[in-house]
Amino acid sequence: MSGGEGTIVQFDNVGLRYGTEREVLSDVSFALYPGSFYFLTGASGAGKTSLLKLLYLAQRPSRGVIRMFGTDVITLPRQALPAFRRRIGVVFQDFRLVPHLSAFDNVALPLRVSGVPESEIRKPVADMLDWVGLEQRHDARPATLSGGEQQRVAIARAVIGRPEILVADEPTGNVDPDLALKLLRLFEALNRLGTTVVVATHDVHLLKKVPDSLIMRLDRGRLADPTGALRYPPRREVS
């Protein structure tokens, strides 16, 4: 596959296997465009989380080429990966909050990783926690937060550094429908600010909630293209 000009992510014939097992992803090829909103769907075990792991550089593929931000990230030395990871925000399926840190410190973590001075951390983190509706829970440890609150802390942490790509793995899986919609609105707000959003979900009702979204469907490790989102260029311009 060639082309992909103006893409922020491009996968070409990517395959992934763990150990000597059969491939969990096979011949996956697609491109993501800056400022787009994508849903990644598929049944449980279809390979959504594996694909997202490749997207947020937690895993290297067994074969194929992955270009991100115009660079082949497969051949990059591992020392160069952190700079790319800082451009990607991730909402993990299991939140992966640091249990001994408060909600504030969890959200501040990407900024601290980026070396932001402490004096410049307080206000943005407080603003971000307010943004996700946790203004009263700054000092709470994850264990004392409800599932929805943990989810919002995880989202706040993923977007605090204003990533170019936001990857969310089943972000509404543990919350009620009202909160799911609210979280989706948060992603849309971020998307309107220019962030490319990729949301993995098996909830088909969610797909209709974001009218401008593009859908990628995984079926047993292979990618389908119901909206043409994967073409070069995609079927329609995305604002």
Contact 224, 61 (CB under 8 A): no
Residues listed for the chain? 239
Nearer to another protein, 31 or 91 (CB): 91
Q: Which stretch binds another protein (CB under 8 A): 26-34, 77-85, 212-220, 223-231?
A: 77-85
Nearest to 97 by CA among 63, 144, 56: 144
Does 116 bind another protein (CB under 8 A)? Our answer is yes
Total of residues contacting another protein (CB under 8 A): 49
Find the binding residues for another protein in span 139-178 (CB under 8 A).
157, 159-162
In the numeric block, the tokens 């395959």 are attached to 15
In the numeric block, the tokens 């700079």 are attached to 83
Q: Give the one residue of 25, 121, 180, 210 binding another protein; rule: CB under 8 A.
A: 121
Q: Give the one residue of 40, 111, 207, 215 binding another protein; rule: CB under 8 A.
A: 111
> CA-based angle 91:29:19, to the nearest 5?
70
Q: Give the one residue of 13, 70, 98, 146 binding another protein; rule: CB under 8 A.
A: 98
Q: Which residue type occupies 163?
A: P
Burial class for 115, CB neighbours closer than 10 Å (0-12, 13-18, 19+) = exposed
Q: Which residues bind another protein (CB under 8 A)?
A: 56-60, 78-79, 81-87, 90, 96, 98, 100-101, 105, 108-118, 120-121, 123-124, 127-128, 130-131, 157, 159-162, 185-186, 189-190, 193
